[in-house]
Structure 1
Amino acid sequence: MPVKFNVGDIVKMRKAHPCGSDLWQVTRTGMDFGMKCQGCGHFVMLPRVKFERMVKSVVAPAGE
């Protein structure tokens, strides 16, 4: 069953960002996903297919 991602979710990725953090906040959903690094604040856009493949887990759902 596919996992639903919402704007504001904090997700753990399979690979760490060069700053050392592997936690990202989802800022945009759709065909492309926007993510903001929780370590340094860098913003990245990824295609949906690559995003879904790289996500390890949802750490904190939106609204918590």
Structure 2
Amino acid sequence: MYSIGEKIYTKKNHACGKNEWEVKRIGADIKLVCTNCQREIMLPKRELDKKIIKKD
């Protein structure tokens, strides 16, 4: 389960070089914001579950 404000780390780095994201919105899709460059993405929960390595 994800919660707003939680930090998530992905297996692959983002184009900016960081792999740390912050959860901003939860719904049918989960909105993430890169903690380095502030890029926002939205992913379905099932897809996100496959891409993360750990949560804080």
TM-score where L is the length of structure 1: 0.82
Gaps of 5+ in 1: 60-64
The CA deviation at 1:30 is 2.2
Gaps of 5+ in 2: none
Q: Secondary structure at the match of 2:48?
A: helix
Q: Secondary structure at the match of 2:27?
A: coil
Equivalents in 1 of 2:55, 2:6: separation in Å? 7
The CA deviation at 1:48 is 1.0
- Indicate the residue corresponding to 1:35 in structure 2: 32
Runs of 4+ aligned structure 1 residues displaced above 6 Å come to none
- Identity among equivalent positions (%) equals 27
Q: Secondary structure at the match of 1:28?
A: strand
The structure where strand makes up a greater share of residues is: 2
How many pairs does the alignment contain? 56
Q: Secondary structure at the match of 2:47?
A: helix
Equivalents in 2 of 1:31, 1:52: separation in Å? 14
Matched to 1:25, the amino acid is: E
